[in-house]
């Protein structure tokens, strides 16, 4: 973990719904996580989600199709070795999170995200515009994900695009399709999407983003896999709704 304390701007997070912390993890830390991931990919160590499971534009039609065994996410990253356990609860990360969640007692969910995104050349898919709150059932829609780049993230390998300030919007249900993606055929949505910005990251940079921030990503059209670790955090006082998927595993204090 890099030493330098970062100038965190909670006001920026409140205004934009996201914040990039440059160099949050140093090169040896990134390398250790990359090695863990590469060992989990060859041979594939489950649990994993496959491109074909999501059925997004560009994903293989079935497990039998070419590329049908392309993993999209290695699940349960927190349980995949010491590098991830240390990172997900590291003091530097906890202090960055306290700045934006504005509570002392913060926990990491083990129920969704808590994964490594593995965007493979050839068979990766596009992720349309959405808010991560669609995955979560908590008392309040106040969760923050941390997206840690384990390599360079650029448009051509499927870096995230975000719509600044969109976490503060309250859109009618009609703006979304049945999977809760923004309907791109609507002019209002296209105008909103036109305000998006690309988030380019270097290895060790972290993007902190609010669970209501609209974001999307393209395919990886380069020759190398893109790896990003993603964990999600909430204030201890913000509880998962009993019996939902968000309540399946206990959260981990950080």
Ligand X SMILES: O=C(O)CCC(=O)C(=O)O
The least CB distance from residue 126 to ligand X, in Å, is: 7
Q: Are 212 and 17 in contact (CB under 8 A)?
A: yes
- Chain positions contacting ligand X, by CB under 6 A: 117, 119, 127, 132, 158, 215, 217
The least CB distance from residue 134 to ligand X, in Å, is: 9
Which residues lie across from 101 on neighbouring strands?
A: none
Q: Which residues contact 187 (CB under 8 A, 6 or more apart)?
A: none
Mode of pairing for the β-strands spanning 71-74 and 226-235:
unpaired
Total Cβ atoms within 10 A of residue 210: 25
d(CA 245, CA 176): 22
The least CB distance from residue 135 to ligand X, in Å, is: 7
Nearer to ligand X, 119 or 120 (CB): 119
Q: Among 4, 25, 1, 12, which residue's Cα sits nearest to residue 206?
A: 25
The least CB distance from residue 28 to ligand X, in Å, is: 25
The least CB distance from residue 216 to ligand X, in Å, is: 7
Alpha helices in 22-101 (DSSP H): 27-41, 51-54, 82-88, 91-101
What number of residues does the chain have? 254
Question: For residue 20, how far is the Cα from the chain centroid?
Answer: 13
Dihedrals phi, psi of 12, to nearest 5 degrees: -65, -40
d(CA 104, CA 98): 6
The least CB distance from residue 117 to ligand X, in Å, is: 5
């Amino acid at each position: 973990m890099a030493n330098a304390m970062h100038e965190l701007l909670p006001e920026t997070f409140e205004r934009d719904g996201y914040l990039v912390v440059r160099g949050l993890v140093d090169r040896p830390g990134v390398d250790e996580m990359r090695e863990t991931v590469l060992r989990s990919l060859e041979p594939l160590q489950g649990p994993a989600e496959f491109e074909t499971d999501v059925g997004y534009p560009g994903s293989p039609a079935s497990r039998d199709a070419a590329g049908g065994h392309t993993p999209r996410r290695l699940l349960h990253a927190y349980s995949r070795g010491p590098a991830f356990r240390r990172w997900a609860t590291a003091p530097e990360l906890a202090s960055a999170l306290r700045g934006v969640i504005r509570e002392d007692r913060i926990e990491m969910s083990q129920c969704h995200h808590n994964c490594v995104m593995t965007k493979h050349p050839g068979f990766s898919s596009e992720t349309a515009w959405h808010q991560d709150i669609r995955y979560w059932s908590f008392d309040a829609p106040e969760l923050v994900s941390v997206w840690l780049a384990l390599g360079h993230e650029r448009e051509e390998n499927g870096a995230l695009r975000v719509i600044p300030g969109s976490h503060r919007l309250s859109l009618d249900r009609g703006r979304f399709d049945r999977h809760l993606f923004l309907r791109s055929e609507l002019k209002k949505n296209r105008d909103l999407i036109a305000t998006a910005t690309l988030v380019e990251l270097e290895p060790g940079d972290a993007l902190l983003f609010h669970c209501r921030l609209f974001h999307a990503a393209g395919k990886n059209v380069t020759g190398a896999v893109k790896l990003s670790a993603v964990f999600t955090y909430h204030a201890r006082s913000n509880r998962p709704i009993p019996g939902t998927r968000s309540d399946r595993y206990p959260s981990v204090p950080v």
